[in-house]
A and B are shown apart, each in its own frame.
Chain A
Amino acid sequence: MHLKRIYIRLIILLFLSCSKEDTAYEPTPQLLNIPQLFSDNIIPPIIPTNNPQTVEGIALGKKLFFDTILSSNGTQACASCHAPQNAFTDNTPTSDGIDGVFGTRNSMPLFNLAWNYGERFTWDGKELSLERQAEEPVQNPIELHSNWGNVVSILQMHPEYPELFRLAFKTSTITKELTTKAIAQFERTLISANSKFDRYSLGETSLTPQELNGLDIFLSEDKGDCFHCHGNPNNPLWTDNIFHNNGLDTTFADLGLGGVTGDPNDNGKFKSPSLRNLAYTAPYMHDGRFATLDDVINHYSEGLQNSSTIDPLMKQINQGGVQLSDEDKADLKAFLLTLSDPSFINNPDFQN
């Protein structure tokens, strides 16, 4: 009988020790702060089930995003080409990496990335998730020009990072996968939804007659017809997040999506960028060829170049485009600038 009691106590102790493991450390879940305009109008963001947002993961991702430790000579970080004051893009047509060599594409601005439902990232759609995208710049020879083996070793020997990884992912053994997961978590928090137009949509402010006329031009199929690719007031992303040939060239030095899919019908197609934050994201287009917003509007008005894959949504191509008057152009520009969000570029959560 005595032995039986001992056995029972041992079994209880065993269970108790198990329950101690159950109460072990867990990172703190951190839901995305979804703006009302988004939850009212569009479907929820995409968060991978294997990379949930956590307070510690986001903090680690932010530190990594701004840390030059990811480059081989310690001179550049993600933020070097994706600067907060430029809505996380660069202010040059293309960007130079650590060796001073320039790439061929304009750095894409980063915001509202969790609402990219098709999950094709970058101008040509090459990267199929934010996590995978974050792998590329580190090892690209004209960007951070490092290799993941070295980066992981350096992070592992760092006085702070192993503990930060433990807090974020419950392991202090650093891997490429965990590093890119953390960066992706931070990038998903980069939400922009407080432009003048957002406040207008919420009934908190009004637009000027010029801005309202610009909206009319944007939405009119027989004027600007911008909305078929760049969304509308019911879609606060201001992009369709898909790929179009918008008539930049007659032949293609850069195949864009076609270079990824191998389908010649995709040649010359690039992702529609969001029109949010245009005030901070010049120069424009996938190669940064247009220095100003006026240049962009002039392109659609009278600069279209025909090619076999030009999108059928492009109009009056023989005349170069939709032939806006100077007044219409000015009004359209005034409207487009209402989509810029100063609180986004100044958000202290997004600064180094």
Chain B
Amino acid sequence: MKKILILIVFAVLSFTSCGEDLDDNFIPTTQTTFKFTHHWNDEIVTNADFNTLQYTNEHGELLSIERLRYVISDITFVSGNNTQLALDDYYLIDVTNNSGLNFSTQTEIPSGTYTVSFTFGLNNEDNSENYLNLNSASFNVPEMLGGGYHYMQFDGKFINSNSEEQGFNYHAIRAVDNPGANPTFPQDTFFTVNLGAITVTGNTEIEVKMNIAEWFKSPNLWDLNDFNQMLMPNSTAQIMMFQNGQSAFSLGEVAEIIDN
């Protein structure tokens, strides 16, 4: 009986000592998950919707989507007191194969309210790195175009002005002129997507929506008859993609994930 009493006292002490580790200033960290969804205006788009001529862009061309994959990087959380939590990471979001659409950040985020942003594509410094995942996915940009990686590969078909089906390759890269041994870069074409203020509590899932229609809409009304293929060495097209892409992403639902 005496031994049992000692054990009970010891167990209580052990639990109490654990409790003392809790600090009044401790801010719990959370697992933050991003969920990328894709839309054509109000209509959800998944790879099940690919390969069918069913979307009409702002200029009026009927088109299909056959391949869509892109890179986002440098997710950043900025708190109210301007403390910045920059995650030096990158993700390949492959809608075609339904892979990479959901991912958790490798760093846990302390609970709080943040302005959240990410980079569409890769900034120039990151774009000069060697990424084994992206090489393995054959996402590279040839050296004579400056090297690095595609920001986005968006392929499909459209009905051209001769009423014929034709392919398009809306491939976003770093805009480049003078392809060859010494290419030049007229302007940066990666851009920051600001999702606005998000409160992170518990395990949070942040939905990011891409409206694919926006890539054809504004400020440049995209005519696929003029810009359809061989756009990588076309810096004018790249800058137009950069401009149109600014409105392609928006914040969707923010939800706390409850583990069952």
A, B in one complex: yes
A residues at B contact (CB < 8 Å): 40-43, 115, 117, 216, 219-222, 225, 227-229, 231-235, 240, 265, 308-315, 317-318
Is B136 in contact with chain A by the CB < 8 A criterion? yes
Instruction: Report the bound CA distance from A309 to B168 in whole Å.
Output: 14
How far does the Cβ of A46 sit from chain B's closest Cβ, in whole Å?
11
Chain B residues 102 to 143 lying within 8 A of chain A, measured CB to CB, are 130, 132-133, 135-138, 140, 142-143
Residues of chain A lying within 8 A (CB to CB) of residue B140: 227, 232, 234-235
Instruction: Report the bound CA distance from A228 to B137 in whole Å.
Output: 10
Instruction: Report the bound CA distance from A240 to B138 in whole Å.
Output: 6
* CB-based contact A219/B135 at 8 Å: no
Instruction: Supply 21 A–B pairs (Cβ within 8 Å), ascending by A.
Output: A42-B132, A43-B133, A43-B136, A216-B144, A219-B142, A220-B144, A221-B169, A221-B171, A221-B230, A225-B230, A228-B138, A232-B142, A234-B140, A265-B51, A309-B51, A310-B167, A311-B155, A312-B155, A312-B168, A313-B169, A315-B167
Residues of chain B lying within 8 A (CB to CB) of residue A219: 142-144
A241 — nearest CB in chain B belongs to which residue?
Answer: B138
* CB-based contact A312/B167 at 8 Å: yes
* CB-based contact B167/A234 at 8 Å: no
Interface size on B, residues (CB 8 A): 31
Extra pairs beyond A221-B229, A317-B166 (9, CB < 8 Å): A115-B136, A216-B144, A219-B143, A221-B169, A222-B233, A234-B135, A265-B50, A314-B167, A318-B164
Interface centre among B51, B140, B155, B169 (most CB of A within 10 A): B140
* CB-based contact B51/A43 at 8 Å: no
* CB-based contact A311/B130 at 8 Å: no
How far does the Cβ of A38 sit from chain B's closest Cβ, in whole Å?
10
* CB-based contact B167/A311 at 8 Å: yes
* CB-based contact A313/B155 at 8 Å: yes
* CB-based contact B167/A117 at 8 Å: no
Known A-B contacts A216-B144, A314-B167, A315-B167; A235 and B232 likewise in contact (beta carbons under 8 Å): no
Residues of chain A lying within 8 A (CB to CB) of residue B233: 220-222
Residues of chain B lying within 8 A (CB to CB) of residue A308: 165
Residues of chain B lying within 8 A (CB to CB) of residue A318: 164
Is B66 in contact with chain A by the CB < 8 A criterion? yes
Q: List 4 A-B pairs, minimum CB-CB distance, nearest first.
A: A312-B167, A219-B142, A265-B51, A312-B155
Is B38 in contact with chain A by the CB < 8 A criterion? no
Residues of chain B lying within 8 A (CB to CB) of residue A265: 50-51
Instruction: Report the bound CA distance from A2 to B156 in whole Å.
Output: 87
Instruction: Report the bound CA distance from A310 to B133 in whole Å.
Output: 27
Residues of chain A lying within 8 A (CB to CB) of residue B135: 41-42, 234-235
Is B174 in contact with chain A by the CB < 8 A criterion? no
